[in-house]
Amino acid sequence: MKYLLVIVVVGALLWSMFGRERRTTPPPPRRAAPPRLPVQMVECAHCGVHLPQTEALFDVGGRPYCSDAHRVAGPRRG
Ligand SMILES: [Zn+2]
């Protein structure tokens, strides 16, 4: 019975030494977060401010505007 205990203790020691050694390998580097989808920026035809296309308002001619007020005011540039 005494020897069994010694074997178990030695086995546990060996396991902790070699088992841990195997686990010290660095984990694979995490991949960088996927880049966000590029947002198309447009320029307000009235005041020239840049804003995402998804937030822009367009007139019948397809010109982008930053707000409904500027869309009503119409293009001022060009
Ligand atoms: Zn504007």
CB 74 within 8 A of CB 67: no
More confident of the two residues 46 and 32: 46
Give me the number of domains the chain comprises. 1
Question: Does 16 fall in a domain?
Answer: yes
Place of tokens 């960088």: 32
Instruction: Show Cβ contacts of residue 70 under 8 Å, excluding neighbours closer than 6 positions.
Output: 44, 45, 46, 47, 57
Question: Does 63 fall in a domain?
Answer: yes
* Distance from the alpha carbon of residue 36 to the mean position of ligand 1, in angstroms: 26
* Distance from the alpha carbon of residue 69 to the mean position of ligand 1, in angstroms: 8
Question: Does 33 fall in a domain?
Answer: no
* Distance from the alpha carbon of residue 9 to the mean position of ligand 1, in angstroms: 77
* Distance from the alpha carbon of residue 60 to the mean position of ligand 1, in angstroms: 16
CB 64 within 8 A of CB 56: yes
The boundaries of the domain holding residue 19 are: 2-25+39-73
Q: Give the model confidence (pLDDT) of 2-45 as tens digits.
A: 788 888 878 888 888 877 666 567 777 888 777 777 889 999 99
